[in-house]
Chains A and B, each alone.
Chain A
């Protein structure tokens, strides 16, 4: 047992030591802040919570890596802020047969080292991800991609192993140059890309510097350099914005601090609807949670409106399901579980778990969380107690927490899905075959033959209106059967120096429009809300 626990403990200790170190930093900033810090006029500083896991887009699956890699690399197609595909490296694409996608590449694209981008680079990128020896977690996502061929230098043909509706999402993979070796060290600067920036330096846990890609047109007055600085402590991030040390922050400032920041004359805050979906997940291997009445009782016992209004200061929308209203497949006509403790108690009584003399029932669940999310955990604990359910909170730093969740080592937990676009994501999270050892995210071992049938049909159906109907049924079934309790969609919250203009927030939190940001003196046009 000792041998197994040790690394976790060491990690835990290191994480805790780091927290002390941040506090020290905080004090130091407070002491030095009066001297002020001035950036060079064409550099903007963006504070981020941690380091990206990889700088090679063949490996990036975490949010931070994707956000930064989007600025360095480009893909054949991308999603705009309305969830529509837009052509990027491809000037056009078509689907001549149900299993084929043909992309016609632009002729004028260069990597930041001057090499022209051709179909060979595209094929290389996909082949490299598909090669088992590369060992990237992204390979599982391309399991339906049979082959990538290049009839000429500017044409790419993707073939899937059958009709596969979300196939166009494959083309959102960002491209590296032909022959790029696999990254030797996790802190290496990534390969050159065809995006608006190139990575000039990368110091893990400290900073990343992006400079303009000379082959990518930049708007006039645009900052030439973006410094991403790793600042793990939310209070320090807020202080750096206040002091003008950092210029930009997205979705990493605590809602409670926003009123304070909004009083700073040089800062502008914008809130816009987001698609990041927070949910409560059940583990179906627990016999009590397998009873839908217990799951519904739990849903009724959560006072979402209060949590959103108070703890989140309104920076979220109560969610009906995984898909946000902006998604083309969204169906909002679903059962909603508004806070109703009386109904929760009644359901639990019916399920055969009567309340004892102290009001508590024979229901005790282990709730796994991280320190950052522990106030949500404590709020849920108090709300569950009102209906007689005991919640035992276990809080661990993210690595330990996440490995527990992947192993199914929890009764209840809360996580969020960021950047869901194609509703096929339902297949990844609710299909009974998609449990973590098999490449999916059905971490609660949810099994429902009707759900399996729907999500598997949805993946193979190409007709958009047919798909829409299928996913309307999926959304209804998910809301009735409750493999997740839908909590909310987080808003995209941007805090930005007023000298910066032209940032367009994305519902999925993409930072791509940092590339088109311009610097203007104070008093210019107000940023859009």
Chain B
């Protein structure tokens, strides 16, 4: 463990992520403007007191949409990472514990999935499943679970040979006790790092899919579809793309710094 003062990544990362989560939870409660309410008198309005981030092509408040987009982005990322973590850990753990041919078979399967560029796989799946939030979560999970499977398998294989695990086994501890008492705490650190980076990556991937029209459907505000809709007005209303663009950039930066910080703190190489 290093002292937090010598770990600026962790400090900045925590600050950004807390701010982000706070914004997502409190933002729509404090800034009570309907993100779906169109107001054609205000189309493409520049930022003002009433509309701090201006209005989009249908006169909807951009700030309200960015705030609601934060909720969507964070909840989708959290869902995808949780699902990937569970699926990946189960598959990786099972492979490591069974060993032999099953291990080999499962890990070659992981290699095949990894051979596809992740975002391309997600695009293909999203196109097949059709646009929609649930389909988006499935597509992104299909892209994300392999990392967790690899980490869990690798860590389980090394930890099982450690003296303290062998000692526990020699003392006659049950498999489940070894798993939860001795193996899991060892895997938690690397998994936390992977999951934190994962959230950042998924925020980007979700925005990419929504930008391509494969994610959240209009009128639901998401950062990705806001970028797509604002693209046509780059010349006359750059605030339409700047606001969600900064939101995406800041969140990915925040989660990456946090991931770095955690890695440093738990002494894990990334």
Contact = CB atoms under 8 A, between A and B. Distances in A.
B58 A259 contact: no
A256 B58 contact: no
Given A19-B212, A382-B36, A374 B236 contact: no
Interface string B225-253: 00001011111110000000000000000
Interface string A246-273: 0000000010110110000000000000
Given A13-B123, A238-B235, A395-B218, A310 B212 contact: no
A393 B218 contact: yes
Taking chain A's interface residues, is the majority helix, strand, or loop, or is none over half, making it mixed? helix
B18 interface: no
B229 A13 contact: no
Contact of A310 (B59, B214, B217): B59
Given A306-B41, A309-B40, A16 B213 contact: yes
A23 B234 CA distance: 11
B148 to A, nearest CB: 28
Interface of A: 9, 12-13, 16, 19-20, 23, 26, 234-235, 238-239, 242, 254, 256-257, 259-260, 303, 306-307, 309-311, 371, 374-375, 377-379, 381-382, 393, 395
B44 interface: yes
A234 B232 contact: yes
Nearest to B57: A375
Nearest to B219: A378
A378 B218 CA distance: 8
Contacts of A239: 235
Given A256-B237, A257-B235, A378-B218, A306 B40 contact: yes
B123 A254 contact: no
Contacts of B43: 256, 310-311
28 contacts: A13-B124, A16-B213, A16-B214, A235-B231, A235-B234, A238-B235, A254-B233, A256-B44, A256-B233, A256-B236, A257-B235, A257-B236, A260-B235, A307-B40, A310-B41, A310-B43, A311-B43, A311-B57, A371-B213, A375-B57, A378-B38, A378-B58, A379-B38, A379-B40, A382-B219, A393-B217, A395-B213, A395-B217
Contacts of B212: 16, 19-20
Contacts of B36: 382
Given A234-B232, A235-B232, A254-B232, A310 B213 contact: no
A20 B38 CA distance: 28
Nearest to A377: B218
Nearest to B131: A395
B218 A259 contact: no
A135 B168 CA distance: 81
Contacts of A381: 219
Contacts of B217: 393, 395
A234 B218 CA distance: 20
A110 B62 CA distance: 60
A379 B217 CA distance: 15
B119 to A, nearest CB: 11
B37 interface: yes
Contacts of B124: 13
B138 interface: no
B173 interface: no
B128 interface: yes
Nearest to A254: B232
Contacts of B151: none
B127 interface: yes
Given A23-B231, A374-B218, A378-B218, A9 B127 contact: yes
B235 A235 contact: yes
A306 B43 CA distance: 10
A241 B37 CA distance: 34
A20 B219 CA distance: 21
Nearest to A308: B40
Contacts of B233: 235, 254, 256-257
A8 B165 CA distance: 55
A303 B218 CA distance: 20
A359 to B, nearest CB: 14
A379 B236 CA distance: 20
Interface string B190-219: 000000000000000000000011100111
Nearest to A258: B236
* Most chain A beta carbons < 10 A, residue from B212, B234, B235: B235
A379 B58 contact: yes
Contacts of A260: 235-236
